[in-house]
Structure 1
Amino acid sequence: MKTIRAVGAVFAGVLIAATVACSGGGSPAPDSESEQPTKLRLALHWTYPVAEWDGIVVADELGYYEEAGLDVELQFLSGSTATVQAVAAGESDLGLAGPDTILSGVDSGLEFTVVANHLQRTSSGVIAPAASGIESFEDLEGKTVSTAAASPEQAMLRSKLAEAGLDSESDLALSFVDPQAKCTVVLSGAADACTGQNNHHVIQFADEGVDPLFLSFSTEEQPILGHSIFANDAYLADHADAVSRFLEATMRGYETAAEDLDAVVDIYVKQRPETDAAFLLKTLEASHELMYSDRTDEHGWGWMDDTAWQALADSLLAGEVLGSEVSVSEIYTNDYLPEDAWKPQPLD
C-alpha cells in the first residue's frame, strides 16, 4: 500500500486528529503485531484515479486502510461493466461502479451485494449550451443528441424522453459516438446536446467558454443514485468485519478530503503530474456536492433506501435495459456502514 506522508502532511495534524475523533478513532488494527493485514482487492471503474474516488485515494495515501488492518489493492479497470464482472467472478473482492450497471448485472443473474452509496445522486443527465434554448427534455424534440450506444446512460435518456412524450426513434436524432467524444461533438457543433456528467462534462463546457445547461436524470420526485460500492457475496460472507473496516476507513478518507480539497489535488498531482489541477479541483467540488442527501442527513455517509434504487430500476426498465422487475431491497444492505457515520454537507 502506498503511504505518501510528505503529501499527507498538507492536511495538517490538527485536521487529521479532528477527523479521527469524529470517526471514533478509526477501526481497530489487527490484534497483534504478528497478525497479517486482511487482503482486499478493490475494483475501480476507470484506468486512473478520478475525482469521485478522492476518499479512497486519501484513505490509501494517509494510511487509513493500513490502520484498519487492511492491505488494499486498487485495481484500475476500464468502465463499470468490467468492474461488475470482476467482482461477480471473484477476481475482485469489492468494486465501485455506476448503479445502473450494477442493476443490469443483477438482471443478468450476477450475484453481489451493494454495501454503500457514496454518491447519493447520479451525476448523469443531458448537457446543452444554454444558448440553444433547450431547458427541458421536451425541448429535445427535433434535436440531435449524442450518446454512447448500448449504455445505461442512453437507456435513462430514452426513459426521460418517453416521460416527456417523445419517441426517441422519430421525434429526435440520437447520434451514437465513442463515450470520450459524446460531448466534444456538441462543442464542435455536430450535435445539439449530449449525455454526460455534471461533475465532468459540464465543467468541460464551461472551460471551453460555453455556458452549459444541465438536465439531470435525477429529480426530487424521482431521485436516482450515483456510483456505489458493492461486494462479492462469498468475500462478504467470509470477511464481514474487513468490509466494515474498509467502509469506515473509506468514509474517513472522504471526510478528510472534504476538509481540504486543495490538499487532495496535491495528492493527485503527485501521483499523476500531468493532472490538470484547476480542472480537477472543479470536479472534486462537483462530486462532493453529490455526496449528501436527506438520507445522509439522517443516517450518515453511504446510506441507501428502496426509494432511490426503485427510481433507477423503473427508469432502466422503461429504457429496456432491464428485462424484468428487480427486487431492489434484496440487492443492498446498510449493515456494514459505520455507526454514528459522518454526515456530508454542501461545500461552503
Structure 2
Amino acid sequence: MRAIRILAISLSLALALGAAADAAQKVRLHTDWKMEVSGDIPPFFLGVEKGYYKAEGLDVEILDGTGSGDAVRVMSAGSYEFGFADFGSLLAGRIQGAKVKAVMGLLQQGGGAFLYMKDSGIQTFKDLKGKTIAMSPGGSEDASIRAVMAKNGLSMEDVKWTYMPGMGKVFAVLGGTAHATGTLWNKMVPLMEVKSGKKVGYFSFADLGVNILHKGVFVNTDYLAKNGDTVRRFNRATQRAWMEAQKNPEAAVDSFLKSFPKQAKDKPMFMEVMKLSLKMIGTENTKGKPLGWMSEKDWASSQRVLVDYTPGMKGKALPAGEFFTNDYVPGVQQAGMAK
C-alpha cells in the first residue's frame, strides 16, 4: 500500500513537472541579421541549450533579422517580444517616434571601424585621404563616419565615397574596387581574412574618439509596461548565458553551430568573432556594474553623435532616459522598480 502511495505521489509530481514544462511561456528574440552568419549571437543559443531560459519558465525562439533598422521597426509595431540589434538604430528610431526601449546592454563598445587590407599601403588614418571608401547610406554608421572624419582632420570631400548596402561594401574591398569600408570590426575582420587569406587592418571609430553604443536587448514600450516580470526573467537568463560565454566562448559557439551544422567548417572564424565580440562588453562608464547595466553618459554621448552628424536631426535630442532602463538588469536594485 505504501509503495502504491509513493508511486502515486511520484506520478503526480512527474505530471506536475511535465505540465509546468508544457506551460513554459513562449517568447521570440528577433535578431538583426541572418543568424547563420552572425557570430555575435552564440551566447543566446548557449542559454537555450543549458536550460537557463527554461529555468526562468521561458521557451525562447531565436529568429533571423534583415538589419537593425528593420528590427527596430518590427519591434515598435509589437510584432515580437524581444529584439537584439544596433543601439544606434534604436536611438534614431526612438527620436522618430518608435515605441522601443533598451533593457540590457551587451556589446556596448562601438564596433564601427574603417577596414582595409594590410597589403594596401594604408598605415594611418590620414592615409585614407584620396582613397575610395565603401559605406552604407544613412543610419548610425553614416553619422559615426561623419563624426570620425570631422574629429580627425579629414573632410568628407577628402575621400571618394561609394554607397552600397550590406555585404556589398565588404566585397568591394575584397575585390579591389574600394580601398576601405566602414563596417563592424568584430564581425568583418575575421570574415574578410578567411575570404581573402590576407591580413585585414582597421581603424576603430571608438579609438578615433567616436563611440556609439553597439548592441543589446530591447523591447516594445507597451510590452514592457505589461510584461515587466517576463523581461526580468529573460534578462536574468541572458545575463547568465553571456557570463558563461565569457568563461567558455567555445561552448557558446558549439551551441550555435548545433543549429547551423553546415557552418561547422567555419568554426575558427566564428570563434574569432565571438572572442572579439566579448571584448566589447561594457565601457569605462559601466565598470563595477552588473553585466547588462547601461550608463546614461554613454547614451547621451551616443545620441549627441547621431543628432549632430545626421542631416535633419538637429534639435531633436531626447532625454537619455527615453532610450533605456536598467530596472530589469539582474543585480540592479533601484527605487521605483517596475513590477
TM norm. shorter chain > 0.5: yes
Shift of 1:163: 2.0
Matched, 1:110 2:105: no
- Counterpart in 1 of 2:223? 235
Give the conservation status (yes or no) of the 8 Å contact 1:138–1:161.
Answer: no
Deviant stretches of 4+, over 6 Å = none
- Counterpart in 1 of 2:71? 83
Shift of 1:321: 5.5
2:187 to 184, 200, 210: 200
- Counterpart in 2 of 1:277? 267
- Describe how 1:135-214 pairs up with structure 2 within 5 A: 135-168=123-156, 170-207=157-194, 208-214=196-202
- Counterpart in 2 of 1:92? 80
Residues 219-270 of structure 1: CA deviation (Å, up to 9, x unaligned): 4855431112111111111111111110010111112222222222322222
Matched, 1:327 2:314: no
Using the alignment, how far apart are the partners of 2:22 and 2:116 within structure 1?
A: 55
How many residues of Structure 1 are paired with residues of Structure 2 in the alignment? 310
Using the alignment, how far apart are the partners of 2:185 and 2:259 within structure 1?
A: 24
Give the conservation status (yes or no) of the 8 Å contact 1:135–1:215.
Answer: no
Give the conservation status (yes or no) of the 8 Å contact 1:59–1:250.
Answer: yes
Using the alignment, how far apart are the partners of 1:308 and 1:126 within structure 2?
A: 22
Give the conservation status (yes or no) of the 8 Å contact 1:159–1:319.
Answer: yes
2:42 to 25, 41, 54: 54
- Counterpart in 1 of 2:7? none
Using the alignment, how far apart are the partners of 1:269 and 1:35 within structure 2?
A: 26
Q: Which amino acid in 2 is paired with 1:329?
A: G
Give the conservation status (yes or no) of the 8 Å contact 1:55–1:251.
Answer: no
- Counterpart in 1 of 2:297? 307
Shift of 1:120: 1.8
Using the alignment, how far apart are the partners of 1:321 and 1:306 within structure 2?
A: 24
Unaligned runs of 5+ in 1: 1-29, 342-348
Unaligned runs of 5+ in 2: 1-16, 334-339
- Describe how 1:4-83 pairs up with structure 2 within 5 A: 33=20, 36-49=23-36, 50-83=38-71
Bigger mean CA offset, 234-243 vs 47-56 = 47-56
Using the alignment, how far apart are the partners of 1:119 and 1:200 within structure 2?
A: 12
Shift of 1:73: 2.9
Rate the CA distance shift 1:193–1:222 in 2: closer, same or farther, 3 A.
closer
Q: Which is higher, the Rg of structure 1 or of structure 2?
A: 2
Helix, strand or coil: the match of 1:199? helix
Q: Which amino acid in 1 is paired with 2:275?
A: E
Using the alignment, how far apart are the partners of 2:187 and 2:241 within structure 1?
A: 21
2:280 to 282, 290, 295: 290
Q: Which amino acid in 2 is paired with 1:309?
A: W
Using the alignment, how far apart are the partners of 1:228 and 1:289 within structure 2?
A: 14
Helix, strand or coil: the match of 1:231? strand
Shift of 1:135: 4.4
Using the alignment, how far apart are the partners of 2:56 and 2:21 within structure 1?
A: 15
- Counterpart in 1 of 2:113? 125
- Counterpart in 2 of 1:215? 203
Using the alignment, how far apart are the partners of 1:205 and 1:47 within structure 2?
A: 17
Bigger mean CA offset, 206-215 vs 245-254 = 206-215
Give the conservation status (yes or no) of the 8 Å contact 1:145–1:192.
Answer: yes
Percent identity between matched residues is 28
Rate the CA distance shift 1:135–1:328 in 2: closer, same or farther, 3 A.
farther
Helix, strand or coil: the match of 2:186? coil
Matched, 1:318 2:308: yes
Using the alignment, how far apart are the partners of 1:322 and 1:192 within structure 2?
A: 30
Give the conservation status (yes or no) of the 8 Å contact 2:144–2:210.
Answer: no
- Counterpart in 2 of 1:18? none
Give the conservation status (yes or no) of the 8 Å contact 2:88–2:212.
Answer: no
- Counterpart in 1 of 2:8? none
Q: Which amino acid in 1 is paired with 2:99?
A: E
Using the alignment, how far apart are the partners of 2:233 and 2:308 within structure 1?
A: 38
Give the conservation status (yes or no) of the 8 Å contact 1:104–1:322.
Answer: no
Rate the CA distance shift 1:116–1:252 in 2: closer, same or farther, 3 A.
same
Rate the CA distance shift 1:74–1:34 in 2: closer, same or farther, 3 A.
closer
Residues 125-169 of structure 1: CA deviation (Å, up to 9, x unaligned): 11122344444543322111011223421231122112234331x
Using the alignment, how far apart are the partners of 1:122 and 1:225 within structure 2?
A: 5
Using the alignment, how far apart are the partners of 2:35 and 2:178 within structure 1?
A: 29
Using the alignment, how far apart are the partners of 1:97 and 1:71 within structure 2?
A: 20
- Choose between structure 1 and 2: higher helix proportion: 2
